[in-house]
Chain A
């Protein structure tokens, strides 16, 4: 086996050093009855060439990956500059582990420090953590954190416009977490969370109000209004962003009053990979940092006064505090956090904004062209970024016909929202030039 270096002579030498006669004897402390159950019924191993061939054959059975696609709904196709993956393929990064020994892990630690800074700036908040698993689980952790910050308030309001998989994940995490209670705020005709409902239902028992930003329909919520409704009763505003590119243009959640802002970082230089790994973004105000889940990197100095970085504020964490930790999270998504750090460094202050503008403009042009014919109309009147919902009769039939013509034209909202069975959700990014949009309009005309 090519990964295992031990020759027969090595094995013999090592067995002798250990003082056992055979490899089997190494396992003599395991009761024989248990050992009898051990053998693995899998085919013999394969060469690298054979494994590659097998995986290529499987990959070839995913024709959806090569089709013109306007699928979004929480995972967005974007162009990835070559540098990002080149850095990810540096084995010094990918084959390291959590930087427990900072003196030989400064690469990872400094990159995470930069990641934390970028996350905080993006959300307009003071501090970002070293990452979470993904947007959905980060949202769940944000809700748990809000409940910790408001221990006497059992209620959490989730906007129905929050991505459904985020809501489902919150529900799973909260089951068993004390006597918490989840309420769902309906959406209005503009596709935003219903402000009147919030005014009537947020109360002194409410710990937090959670909205998507942009929300699942691609609509930009009026965060200031939501914050006003929440703050009137002392509830925290929590935002969840599945398409963080929008934050290059939109007022950041922190500036609109959010106490915690989370998101999914996949858009920033990470391939779709059928939905994972992505990376959870998590930011909050400095005053709440000790209630924050996840790892944190901080600046430190050695005796010679040289600056370096270390894992810090670990007393919140499971390996110190065990059952009283702020979260059970241990490993986060460090390598993907690195990808987003490289990506955001490359695009930077101006490139990210220009890219966001390109997405915005192309999505609006696509929406205008698609709705010009009368076959489709915008499902919601609210402002949108690079994803929009259109309504038309037999939406699912149209989608199937587009698929037969080789285009993945969108996600049927009826998948999650029975009341919107005639609505398609369409994502348009910098990957979709005029020809691609023309093709979309063409296949959806039928």
Chain B
């Protein structure tokens, strides 16, 4: 990547790898002088040479390098990000400030409990808030992400059954589920049995009854499901699972559709995870860190990961030892506390009423888009949707255009793409989730772009097939990248 590029050279700054900015002897930090050498303290046989290839760059160059890289990214702060199932809502700046308060940011995880009561109080209250929002009896904040919460939950399911002398082997998962569900169930030692949805995209209680046996440990269900539809028979489904001694695992990925509307714990869920980086607006960070607290009904509480918070006789909050029946730890220390602080600030800012309003506006926005795009795009299920709507590639096929082409063309229009080719049960799926924080004007401009793209698909399909053209790079050859993987820079390569 070098030299002037046609038309765009003034706007797009090619940025080499940091390793290619190196020059021998440069350094981006000054340190207190320390005489002597490492060999004065450690046996020479244990020591290495300076790391060959590590950057040698000054401070201003490091800043410029990463600032330029930042300019190559779309984020929710710059761009509408209708990425279905990811709930890319506004991340309040105020939360970034409070998470950086030294009282939280500089607190060591092994600080004696009596000197960390503010952090413990925050965790204690957040557990209670999430329990209230989800209708769950107990919550652990330890899991680091949604998938981590799933694994935690399925481990708990396993321990619960084992304590009852029950060696169940199987977990039921709808075909429309996120890939993490079967992966988490497998990691917890279960076989996965896929169940199908009916013609209108819903799991029927009858289907569950048919396959439900005393070998089924749990059903993992996402509600609303990945088609954006509320599973109406959830109560009957849960009854069918419970009737055979199974448990209902509720994937909370789509919780943004349920705030103040229905509580998972009151509609049959025994275990659920909550993605704080979705519903509760902690930043997605370009791929984490998130947080995946797990909530349970009372019978499963003894199995939550430990240590657990408890209020001692002196009124102070303290971490207990890992309880006897706990599945144990799923990570180091107490959880992604920096993210918990942000989620706590978000919930406090919205309050019960604000959370309820958020869901209503998110669902209204999704339906607004659904109605506006139906016709030019083929709606996967003709029904009111919850927080997201899903289209197929049916209207595109005739023009030789794929879902991928629509997604890439949207980038040229200045929007991030929807989630594509998911759920797997929808051919060429385009899954759109606007969230509550996008204005009507933004939704209208997105709709206008989608409609323009539908027209382009009919009139000039090549424009879509060659998109994007207004981005720093065009479509990248992913097949070749996977065939001959180059996964790092190497010193030899830089010379």
Contact A331–B146 (Cβ < 8 Å): yes
Q: For chain A residues 73-128, which have a beta carbon within 8 Å of chain B?
A: 73-75, 77, 81, 83, 85-87, 89-108, 110-114, 116-118, 120-122, 124, 126-128
Interface size in chain B (residues, C-beta < 8 A): 205
Tell me if A381 is interfacial: C-beta within 8 Å of chain B.
no
Query: Please, how many angstroms separate the alpha-carbon atoms of A29 and B232 in the complex?
Result: 7
Inter-chain contacts of A56 with B (CB < 8 A): 98, 101, 103
- Give the chain B neighbours of A117 by CB distance below 8 A: 17, 19, 53, 488-490
Shortest Cβ distance from A85 into B: residue: B100
Q: Which of A302, A336, A385 contacts B474 (CB 8 A)?
A: A302
Residue of B nearest to A338 (CB): B286
User: Cβ of B289: which chain A residues have Cβ within 8 Å of it?
Assistant: 133, 276-277, 279, 331, 333-336
CB neighbours of B383 from chain A (8 A): 29
Q: Which of A277, A315, A355 has the most CB of B within 10 A?
A: A277
Residues of B with C-beta under 8 A to A54: 348
A108's contact among B37, B183, B286, B468, by CB below 8 Å, is which?
B286
Choose one: B22, B66, B150, B329; the contact of A168 (CB below 8 Å). B329
Q: Give Cα A201–Cα B81 distance, bound, in whole angstroms.
A: 55
Q: Inside 8 A of A309's CB, which chain B residues have their CB?
A: 476
Of A28, A163, A355, the residue contacting B29 (CB under 8 A) is: A355
Q: Which residues of B contact A102 (CB under 8 A)?
A: 473, 476, 478
Instruction: Assess A169 versus B69: contact at CB under 8 Å? Given A4-B437, A17-B371, A91-B75.
Output: no
Answer whether A44 and B180 are a contact pair too, CB < 8 Å, given A37-B263, A92-B73, A357-B37. no
Q: Considering the chains assembled together, what is the distance between the CA atoms of A104 and B54 in angstroms?
A: 27
Could you give, for residues 4-36 of chain A, a 1 whenever the CB lies within 8 Å of some chain B CB and a 0 otherwise?
111000110111011110010011111101110
A324/B186 in contact, CB under 8 A: yes
Residues in B with CB closer than 8 Å to A355 are: 29, 31
Q: Are the C-beta atoms of B288 and A334 separated by less than 8 Å?
A: yes
- Which B residues lie within 8 Å of A391 (CB)? none
Rounded to whole Å, the gap between the CB of A446 and the closest CB of chain B is 18
Closest CB in chain B relative to A258 CB, distance in Å:
13
Q: Give the shortest distance, in Å, between A164 (CB) and chain B (any CB).
A: 9
> Nearest Cβ in chain B — how far from A6, in angstroms?
5
- Chain A residues with CB below 8 A from B473, complex form: 102-103, 106, 302, 306-308
Residues of chain B within 8 A (CB-CB) of A350 are: 25, 27, 50, 56
The residues in A between 255 and 292 inclusive whose CB is less than 8 angstroms from any CB of B are: 255, 264, 271-279, 289
Specify the chain A residue showing the minimal Cβ separation from B29. A351
Q: What is the minimal beta-carbon distance from A189 to any residue of chain B, in angstroms?
A: 17
Taking each of B285, B349, B438, which has the highest tally of chain A beta carbons within 10 Å of its own beta carbon? B285
Is the beta-carbon distance between B105 and A272 smaller than 8 angstroms? Answer: yes
Asked if residues A103 and B355 are in contact (CB atoms below 8 Å), the reply is no
Expressed in whole angstroms, the minimum distance between the Cβ of B225 and any Cβ of chain A is 12
Docked Cα-Cα span, A299 to B476, in Å, equals: 9
Beta-carbon contact of A275 and B333 below 8 Å: yes
- Known: A94-B285, A331-B290. Is A113-B73 also a contact (CB below 8 A)? no
| Contact yes or no, B31 A325, CB < 8 A | no
Is the C-beta of B205 less than 8 angstroms from some C-beta in chain A?
A: no
**B residues less than 8 Å from A136 (CB atoms):** 329, 331-332
The 7 closest A-B pairs by CB, nearest first: A59-B103, A275-B333, A275-B109, A176-B189, A335-B285, A61-B118, A64-B115
Give 11 A-B pairs besides A42-B355, A338-B286 with Cβ atoms closer than 8 angstroms. A6-B361, A100-B419, A107-B71, A117-B488, A166-B332, A252-B48, A274-B107, A302-B474, A312-B485, A349-B55, A357-B38
